[in-house]
Every structure is written in structure tokens, then in C-alpha cells.
Structure 1
Amino acid sequence: MNALSRRRWATASFHVSAGGLSLLWLLPIVLVLVTSVRSFDDIAAHGLGSLPHSFTLANFGQAWSDGGQQRALINSLLVTVPCVLVTLALAAMAAFALSRYALPLRRTLLLVMLGGNLLPPQILLIPVNKLTELTGLYDSLTALVLVQIGFGVGFYVFVLHGFMRAIPAEIQQAAVIDGASPLQIFWRIILPLARPALAALSALSFTWVFNDLLWAITVLRSDAKMPITAALIGLQGQYVSMWNVIAAGSVIAAAPTVAVFLRFQRHFVAGLNLGAVK
């Protein structure tokens, strides 16, 4: 076998292996999608893993209204959207100051921010719970927003710092000569150049916060304030054997993050690659 044949064989083997792994990864997703549009009688008669013999969208309506998915989705958006906006705004300003100006102890500050993200969140559950109780914020969406911002801003500062530091200094020097203030440099020059990184972090932050369960059940208690991930647990308890309704609720919970990722997919990949190289 010559070199060309070996190369073709290796390429074909790679594609077959990658295709098989992709199908294996997609199989649970397809199962959930198919189950979400089957009736309960169909699943009870033929089994969960059988081919569908029915098609209905009533499961989504049942999960949306009776299962509380509508209220939970609103709660998740009320937490996620402010978290993404505030966290990225704070992180962008901090990264700009730490990367473009010779501030004292800036390396130490970056290491402290990065070190905070290396702590396992499990060891902080009780302190965070007690702190929200002492401040009177326990069982409120405000507490969840503040916790998500506090634990997310350090990582985003670290990523944006590496991106902004690689922006040529000559651009900022030319703006200073033209009389631009630090705020104008940040708003009109640095932020537009950092758009790929900001878009990537927006998609990443939205996914993390929206899908979070740990902090939600730590600082919240009322069912009416639970986000979508915690509501799925309640949905499973409410519809114990109705897998079609539970699957429909899972699809509803996954739809926003999938939509955000598809919208920012190009920026997501480009932003992470640029941040890694720079």
C-alpha cells in the first residue's frame, strides 16, 4: 500500500469514526425529541424505546402551563439577561484597565480573580447561603443574580485581559494624541476590536447561567421563583411516569440556549480561538 492509499484510508477511517461518534452523541437528543411528541398511551403500550406510533404537541402545552415551565422560563431570563450584561460590562472595564495601563499589583489582581474560579463551588454553598440570609436577600432572584455575577466576572476578566492586551499599543497612542479620553478609547476603540471575544463570552455566559442548577437551589426556596433547570426537577416529580411531558419540558428548557449558541456560533468559535492565540 503506497502513501496515497494509506492517506485515503486514514481519512476515510477518521470520517467513519467521527460520524459514528456523532450519531452516538445525537442518539439521546433524538430520543428526547421523539418522546416529546408521543402520546402517553403510545409509550405505555409500545415502550419508551420503540418506534413512535403517534404524534402530538399537547405535551408541550401541558409542560408549559400545568408544569410551570412558563413561569420558570421567565425567571431564568430575568436572571440570565442581567447577569450576562452586567458581568460582561464589569469584566470589560476591568480587563481594559488591567491590560492597557500600568496599574500597581495588576498581576496579583488577575491571579486572585483566576484563583477564585479554581475553587470548587461545593465548598462555598453554605457560606453563600448564610450570606444571603444575613443580607436579607435569601429566596430572591436578586440574590441569584449577584451570586452569578460574583462567580463569573473573574473568569471573563481573565479572558478579556488576554485579548485586549494583544491589541497594538500604537492604536491607543494615536487616539491619545488625537485627544481621546480613556473612556472614549474604551468605548470607541477597544470594545469594537474586542467584539469577537465579547460575543463568544456572551454565548458562554448565557449557557452557563441559564443552565445552572446548583446556585438556584442554594439561594432560592419558593417554587414560584425557581428557574427552568430547578423546575425540571419539580416537573419530574409531578409527572413521574409521563416521560412524554418530561421530555417536552426538557426541550423547552434547552431551546433558548440552543438558539443563542446558533446565533453566536461563528463569533463563539472565532472569539475563543483569538483569545487563546493572543
Structure 2
Amino acid sequence: MTASATTAPPALRTEPAAPPRARRRGRFGVHLFLGAVSLAFLAPLLLAVYASLRPYEETAKYGYFSFPRRLSFDYYRQAFIDSGMSKYFLNSLLIAVPGVLLTLFLASFVAFAVSRLRMRGGILLLMVFTAGNLLPQQVIVTPLYVLFNKIPLPYWMSDSLTMYDSLWAVIAVQTAFQLGFCVFVLAHFMRTLPQEILEAAIVDGAGVWTQFWRVTLPLCRPALAALGTLQFTWMYNDFLWGLVFLSDGDKLPVTSALNNLRGEFFTDYNLLAAGSVLVALPTVLVFLLLQRHFIAGLTLGASKG
């Protein structure tokens, strides 16, 4: 037997594995870095929670980073009652929930058309929807203000008989601005779905509506859940559009309720921190409820080539 026959081919040779100690050090370094980044993002929230549990007199005397002498939830009760936060919470939900559902519904239609149907100009249409997100919102505040004052609505939809000073105006603007991003994400996700599934549905006699509603859309649940979580957070936390298009103070979203906690000559920042934590609770709750679907939507396609 010759020497060449006993030598393993180069293709079969493998690099020596890293020693276990080196792998542990690398894993520890990654975890340390991720922990530091997470702490940096959580630090403002933790500081707000810490300040909201302490009296303002104590932090004014000893500082916000001092050891607490007394902790209580009095500021949370005071913030919820003094700002009338319950009605503002309802206003934000009346804006965010229909806005999210309408945005995802319309975006899924467009994404299905440009990604699954053989239509001309699909890529151009996708570029147009995506380009809409590049327009600064502040640029069209004045045109939209004039436009909404000229669009009539029946009395049961708006007290002002126009689209201005109604929740419909805020929902419409939120939907329009978030539609492009959702179309972009859903279109690229739908392109990763096996084409054979749609072809089998066509062979079975499925129409376009059946292909969309009963075949494609159920496969998009992780992506829809991830987008729904993001969209709810963005629409719920928005302050600009409610301030511009709503003149009635009773219709303002919950983000505006924090202004009711600010005094004319003195601001209790501990009370303001308690109000901020209360305002953030619904978005945290939505994320916790949809956490599994949200993470699945973010990691979709991670193992694809």
C-alpha cells in the first residue's frame, strides 16, 4: 500500500476544535457584553421606577442615586387620579388597536399582490410604499391640518362634523405612515414561503381570495405578531399627531396626560416618573403576551441560505 493511499484526502481533513476553556471564555465574553447592553437600555426605566417609589423631598435632599429611606406607591395613585389617566388610556386604545388592525390588513393585501402574484410593476409598487416612510412626518403637518378641516363627517363620527378633532384623523395618519414599513416586511417574508403551496392550492381550484386568506395569511402569523407588537408600541406612544389633530382635551391620547402632572412653577419629577411608568405598562404587557410570536417573527429566515 502506497503512502498516498494511506493519507487522508485534503477535503476530509478537519480543523482542530477550540479547547473547552477557550469556548467558555468566548461565551462568557458574549454574555457579559449582552448583559452590559441590556443594562444600559434598562437603566432609564429602572431609574424611573426607583424614583417613582421615593418622596421628592428625599431625592431633593440626598439625590436620586442615594439609598432610599422610605418606599411607597403613593405617587402611582396620585398620578392616576390627578391626570385622569383612565380616559386617556381608553383614547390611546381606540387609536392604537384599530390602527394596528387596519395597517396589518391593508399591508398584507399589498404584500401578497407584489410578492405572490405575477403582476407587472410589483417591485416598483413596493418601492413606492417603502419610500413613503422616508418622508419626515413634520413636513406634511400643515397640509394635513388644512385637508382634515375640509373633509366632512357625519355627526355620529365627529363632533366637529369634519375629520379634524376626531380620532379618525389620528388613525388615518398612523395607518398611512406605518403602512409602507409593514408592506416591506410582509412582502419579503411572503417571498420566503414555498411556491409549491400556492401552486397546489391553484390546482385544487383556489381563487385569489382563498390563496390569500386561507393559504398565505395563516403562514404569516409570526410576522404579523412581530409587526403587531411594534406597531402597537409606535402608535400607542405617539404624541405628535394627537396634539396636532385633536383640539378637545378629552380626546387626547395617554401620552398627553403626562402634561397634566407638570405644574406651572414647580414639577415633581418623582410624580412624573410614576406617570411615565403607568403609561408604559400597556406596551410592556403587550410585549409579554406576544413575546414568543415576536421573537419567532424576528428570527424567521435566520437559518436560510
Normalising by structure 2, what TM-score?
0.82
Q: How many residues align?
A: 277
Q: 2:261 aligns with which of 226, 235, 254?
A: 235
The Cα shift of 1:55 comes to 2.2
Amino acid aligned to 1:50? S
- Residues in 1 aligned to 2:104 and 2:213: alpha-carbon distance in whole angstroms: 14
- Alpha carbons of structure 1 residues 168 and 20: separation in structure 2 relative to 1, 3 Å: closer
Asked if the contact 1:80/1:210 (under 8 Å) is kept, the reply is yes
Specify the SS of the correspondent of 2:299. helix
Q: 1:94 aligns with which of 91, 96, 110?
A: 110
- Residues in 1 aligned to 2:19 and 2:204: alpha-carbon distance in whole angstroms: 60
Amino acid aligned to 1:171? I
- Alpha carbons of structure 1 residues 210 and 3: separation in structure 2 relative to 1, 3 Å: same
Residue 217 in 1 paired to residue 217 in 2?
no
- Using the TM superposition, name which of 180-189 and 69-78 deviates more: 180-189
Amino acid aligned to 1:55? L
The Cα shift of 1:131 comes to 1.8
- Using the TM superposition, name which of 256-265 and 40-49 deviates more: 40-49
Match of 1:182 in 2: 208
Match of 2:217 in 1: 191
Amino acid aligned to 2:77? G
Match of 2:279 in 1: 253
- Residues in 2 aligned to 1:74 and 1:9: alpha-carbon distance in whole angstroms: 50
Residue 26 in 1 paired to residue 42 in 2?
yes
Match of 2:55 in 1: 39
Specify the SS of the correspondent of 1:274. coil
Residue 79 in 1 paired to residue 105 in 2?
no
Question: What are the Cα deviations for residues 212-259 of structure 1, in whole angstroms up to 9, with x where unaligned?
Answer: 122222222332211122222342346943222211110111111111
Match of 1:127 in 2: 143
- Alpha carbons of structure 1 residues 255 and 187: separation in structure 2 relative to 1, 3 Å: same
Asked if the contact 1:239/1:246 (under 8 Å) is kept, the reply is no
Specify the SS of the correspondent of 1:50. coil
Q: What are the residue-to-residue correspondences of 1:94-173 with 2, within 5 Å?
A: 94-135=110-151, 136-173=162-199
Match of 2:155 in 1: none
Structure with higher helix content:
1
The Cα shift of 1:145 comes to 0.5
- Alpha carbons of structure 1 residues 252 and 275: separation in structure 2 relative to 1, 3 Å: farther
Amino acid aligned to 1:172? L
- Residues in 1 aligned to 2:300 and 2:33: alpha-carbon distance in whole angstroms: 29
Specify the SS of the correspondent of 2:262. helix
Unaligned residue ranges in structure 1 (runs of 5+): none
- Using the TM superposition, name which of 14-23 and 96-105 deviates more: 14-23
- Residues in 2 aligned to 1:157 and 1:6: alpha-carbon distance in whole angstroms: 44
- Residues in 2 aligned to 1:21 and 1:154: alpha-carbon distance in whole angstroms: 30
Match of 2:229 in 1: 203
Amino acid aligned to 2:44? P
Unaligned residue ranges in structure 2 (runs of 5+): 1-17, 152-161
The Cα shift of 1:134 comes to 2.4
Match of 2:154 in 1: none
Q: 1:63 aligns with which of 57, 61, 79?
A: 79
- Residues in 2 aligned to 1:239 and 1:148: alpha-carbon distance in whole angstroms: 34
The Cα shift of 1:6 comes to 5.5
- Alpha carbons of structure 1 residues 239 and 139: separation in structure 2 relative to 1, 3 Å: farther
- Alpha carbons of structure 1 residues 62 and 197: separation in structure 2 relative to 1, 3 Å: same
The Cα shift of 1:197 comes to 0.6
The Cα shift of 1:132 comes to 1.8
Asked if the contact 1:159/1:275 (under 8 Å) is kept, the reply is no
- Residues in 2 aligned to 1:178 and 1:11: alpha-carbon distance in whole angstroms: 51
> Which of the two has higher C-alpha Rg?
2
The Cα shift of 1:115 comes to 0.8
Residue 263 in 1 paired to residue 279 in 2?
no
- Using the TM superposition, name which of 235-244 and 172-181 deviates more: 235-244
Normalising by structure 1, what TM-score?
0.90
Amino acid aligned to 1:196? P
- Using the TM superposition, name which of 41-50 and 203-212 deviates more: 41-50
